[in-house]
Every structure is written in structure tokens, then in C-alpha cells.
Amino acid sequence: MLDRVTSMRVFVRAASAGSLSAAARHLGMSPAMATKHVDAIEQRLGVKLFHRTTRKLTLTEAGSIYLDDCQRILAD
């Protein structure tokens, strides 16, 4: 089981960087692990958080809402 706080950090960093690889580098983990964290969130919530292409990530509507929540939670 993946740590939910770490998953939120990966998600927030990926959203700001537009890349899971960049988020992984910043957080000192492999891109595969960063992907697992985001996949775990999406599975737990039952929604897609990103539109993924080979070049970039963009937030879905649900992703945008979840980003606001994560930023608030992580700031606290």
C-alpha cells in the first residue's frame, strides 16, 4: 500500500511540472513509482486526474478540484 501523503505530493508536483518524470526527479523516486502513486489515487477515487500524452500532462476537471484539495491539505 502506498502512502497517501506521498501520493498527494507526487500528484501536486506532477500537476505543476506537467510531467510525472519531472515530479519523480524532484521527489527522488523513479518515474514508474510516481506513476504508481498517481494510478493509486485515480483507482481509489474512481476518476482520471490527468489527460496523459507522451509529452505532457493536463488536469481533468476532477484533477483540478483534487489539486485544490491536496494543496490545502499539504499546506496544513
DSSP state of 29: S
**Mean pLDDT across 7-11:** 97
**Rounded percentage of the chain residues whose pLDDT exceeds 90:** 91
Model pLDDT for residues 27-49, shown as the tens digit of each residue: 999 999 999 999 999 999 999 99
2 to each of 7, 19, 53, 58, 68, how far by Cα in Å?
7, 20, 24, 23, 21
Does the pLDDT at position 1 exceed 90? no
> How does residue 56 score in pLDDT terms, banded at 50, 70 and 90?
confident
Does the pLDDT at position 54 exceed 90? no
